[in-house]
Structure 1
Amino acid sequence: MPVDSGATPVASNRDNEKKARLYSLDALRGFDMFWIMGGGSIFHAISKVSGSPFWEAIDTQLEHPAWNGFHFYDLIFPLFLFMAGVSTPYSVGRELEKGKSRNQLLLRVIKRGLLLVLLGIIYNNGLQLQPVSQIRFCSVLGRIGLAYMFANIIYLYTKGRAQMIWFAGILVVYWLLLKFTAAPGFAPGDLTMEGNFASYIDRCIVPGKLYLGIHDPEGFTSTFPAISTALLGIITGNLLRNSPMLPVRKVGLMAIIGVMFIILAQLWNFDFPINKNLWTSSFVLQVGGISLLLLALFYYVIDIAGYQKWAFFFRVIGMNSILIYISGHFIDWHYTNDSIFKWLGQLIGDPINAIALSITLVFVKWLFLYFMYKKKAFLKV
């Protein structure tokens, strides 16, 4: 098979695969973060300028649905969490092999999880002193931290089959919980924002304010099924790192399971709607299936076939994903972009300048990440 000059297919033998950091995983993480760091804005601008039904359809996919349903943009967060799980056998698993005790690693996992929760609170509210009632404690980083933490605890103290049971068991229990309960005054199984049991529990126990007043998409209760998203990543990471199966067969298995999950999600959707806000069990299967398909594709093209050069752009992003996520709190990217490229927008003129400046915004952020990459400066939590 053709290989890029200088590329090394890390999946060519099992020993290298066990030791190497997957290039494809960094690239896929970068692809995921690309949409958050401004990729979506490029397509929003194209849609607005063109007025084309095609670009409007793309634009719709880059926004979250109001409640039930699924758009491409709903994949961004769970795909990141899935990849955090895939990394576990390569990080925590490697430390176990080096002789670290489970209790030592447990402490590290808990510290990392709680630090992400703290960073999430800071990200939401800055460092301003506010009354507790005005602080939003739930966050994207907080959900990643808690789901990562509990999934890793399960990984530390169970084997592969038990991890699969945990994955499925959490989804079934969460479905039954929301199926046979509801907020006071609503019929059991009510899944509206006002009536569902998960949001009601959050209103009762979560301090501070919820993002939507009566509901928070990163609420405490809906974090439990997110543990299954991270667990699916861990199970996949185990397959990639530890299975004696040929790499191409691993790709096939991931693809088959991915398709099966998507089909099951559509069937479950009739009874338990696909809903990111509630992180429903059908949503977990939907995004899990797509995540498996994407990882299978990236793994085959990059790590097996060895086509790595095209993915360097994404890898630079993926290796500093948390840094670029929180960077907007200490760097005014729009001011920076305007300072460097305002002349370009003026030269091009309305309405195309909106597209050009959206592209340069991503470019400026990427140059910052490339500088950090060259300096080997990576923000790790």
Structure 2
Amino acid sequence: MTFQMTKHIWVTNTCLTIVTSFPCRYGQYIVMSDIIESWRQWLLVIALAVAQVAISLALPVPGCPRGYLGPGGWHMHGQYANCSGGAASYIDRLILTPRHMHKLTNYKYIYHSSQVHDIYGILGTLTSVLTVYLGVHAGRILQCYNCTFMRISRWLSWGVVTGILAGILCHFSKEDGIIPVNKSLWSLSFVLATASMAFLFLSLLYFVADYHDWWSGAPFLYAGMNSLALFVGHKVTRHVFPWTWKPFYNNHSELLAMDIWGTALWLIIAYFMYRKNCFVTV
């Protein structure tokens, strides 16, 4: 016990010494150096996210309630059947026109909506910038802090903060809240919730795989070594048995189980390709 406490104190003091001596021009604000280093980019990214939320909630859409963010169709007993995507879909239909909109979406099969909605639309692009930049910021933490303790504590902090913000927006529920978690709209709560999980998992994986070397990364290592082959293969077999099948109940749980099963099959294929030294690259 004494040895473990001494070791912990030594590691903590070493981290503080390394961070203090790290060549950074922010002096006493070194704890915030990752944010200060990129404050201009943060202002732009936050402005885009705020604009997306403001437009989604405030833009009047003909025949639909202001701020509707649902899938339309049978949602809410068909009360807003032609309001799929709300303001996001309305803007895409005006600017892109239905002819140039992506039409392959699961919500149409679940809610039987006849309205065209592009999951890669204009408004969703604004919040997807935040998703990308949160990933960039996770990498910036590696550059601003050269100590495992500081890196993991920063990632954990970001994971907690983004998770709480996501919970506030969606009321810690699956389909409710001011801004529900919605991948098809790339809603702000979806961005923050997924970012929170990513930060927390990154912290865990960095501690287990990089710092202690307790785990090699398998079986995900095999998929990463052949990501191109798996991506192309998935596109070719996405509607082919045994990777997928015609849903019996056509609900979220069954579709999730189908996706997990398909992913497991591709992991097995990736493993055998790895064992045979077969790698597809560009």
Q: Which residue of 2 aligns with 1:175?
A: 53
* 1:333 and 1:361 in contact (8 A); partners too: no
Match of residue 314 from structure 1? 220
- CA shift at 1:319, angstroms? 3.2
Q: CA deviation at 1:250?
A: 0.8
Q: 1:262–1:202: structure 2 CA closer, same or farther, 3 Å change rule?
A: same
CA contact (8 A) 1:226 1:284 kept: yes
Change (3 A) 1:170 1:358: closer
Bigger relative contact order, structure 1 or 2, given CA contacts below 8 A and separation 6+? 1
1:303 aligned partner: 210
SS in structure 2 at match of 1:221: helix
Q: Determine whether 1:255 maps to 2:133.
A: no
Q: Which amino acid aligns with 2:208?
A: V
Deviations 1:316-371 (A, max 9, x none): 2123324302224567997899xxxxxxxxxxxxxxxxxx9996664234312554
TM normalised by structure 2 equals 0.61
Give the Å deviation of 1:307. Answer: 1.9
Q: CA deviation at 1:376?
A: 5.5
Task: Tell me the TM-score normalized by structure 1.
Answer: 0.46
Instruction: Name which of 267, 273, 294 aligns with 2:201.
Output: 294
Are 1:326 and 2:232 matched, yes or no?
Answer: yes
Contact 1:255–1:292 (CA<8 Å) still a contact in 2?
yes
| Paired amino acid for 2:145 | P
- Unpaired runs of 5+ residues, structure 2, are 1-14, 16-35, 72-81, 109-114, 171-176, 244-260
Give the residue type in structure 2 aligned to 1:246.
Answer: C
Conserved 8 A contact 1:179-1:188 = yes
Residues 2-41 of structure 1 mapped to structure 2, 5 A cutoff: none
Cα shift at 1:166: 2.7
Task: State how many pairs are aligned.
Answer: 201
Match of 2:103 in 1: 210
Q: Tell me, yes or no, if the aligned pair for 2:222 and 2:267 is still in contact at 8 Å.
A: no
Mapped to 2, the partners of 1:191 and 1:331 lie a distance apart of 31
Task: Give the unaligned 5+ runs of structure 1.
Answer: 1-12, 14-157, 338-355
Q: 1:320 to 1:198 in 2, by over 3 A?
A: same
Could you tell me whether the CA contact under 8 Å between 2:162 and 2:196 is conserved in 1?
A: yes
1:185-239 CA-to-partner distances (Å, cap 9, x unmatched) read 2232222334311011222315155234421333343122111101100111111
SS in 1 for 2:186: coil
Question: Which of the pair has more CA radius of gyration?
Answer: 2
Residues 252 and 365 of structure 1, relative CA distance in 2, 3 Å threshold: same
Residues 361, 334 of structure 1: alpha-carbon distance in 2 compared, 3 angstrom cutoff: farther
Q: For residues 182 and 238 of structure 2, what CA distance do their matches in structure 1 show?
A: 33
- Conservation of the 8 A alpha-carbon contact between 2:181 and 2:187: yes
Q: Which amino acid aligns with 2:281?
A: F
